[in-house]
Structure 1
Amino acid sequence: MTETAERLKLELSQLSVKDRAELAYFLIHSLDEEVDYDVESAWDIELTRRMQEINEGTASGKPFKQVFTELREKYS
């Protein structure tokens, strides 16, 4: 890793969690050089279907705290 990147890592580690999350999101998405429109379309269809289920009251869900607890237990 370059000296500049090492310096940035040190500086960026001092930022708030929110700022680091926004930067991480930006950096991850900056790696996508091309858009797969078939995948984007498929996600749009899936998200529309899920939103419709939520609005109709036919979707089942879990509280986010329960989901994250289960994920931590599974992957820790």
Structure 2
Amino acid sequence: MTRSQKHFGELKRIHLIGIGGSGMIGLAMVLQKKGFNISGSDLQMTEELSSLKALGAKVQLGHDPKYIKSSDVVVASSAIAKNNA
């Protein structure tokens, strides 16, 4: 168990809505490298998201409530509207 994982306890699966944004992609990469199970959704695939997928993250295109069902934590980008479905 890494120090980060110990600090976060049982939280292992983190989903980021708007994962391809400039702030979220960096956060996702750090969390993935620290051993967390990262998933995320965004409207388009980018080179950065492809790199994140290569590290083992699950990236989905589009936003759908079913993407977050197995997540322990959901982080939404500030670019995502509160009424996003």
TM-score interval for Structure 1 and Structure 2 normalised by the shorter chain: under 0.3
Larger radius of gyration: 1
* Structure with the bigger percentage of helix: 1
TM-score by length of 1: 0.22
* Structure with the bigger percentage of strand: 2
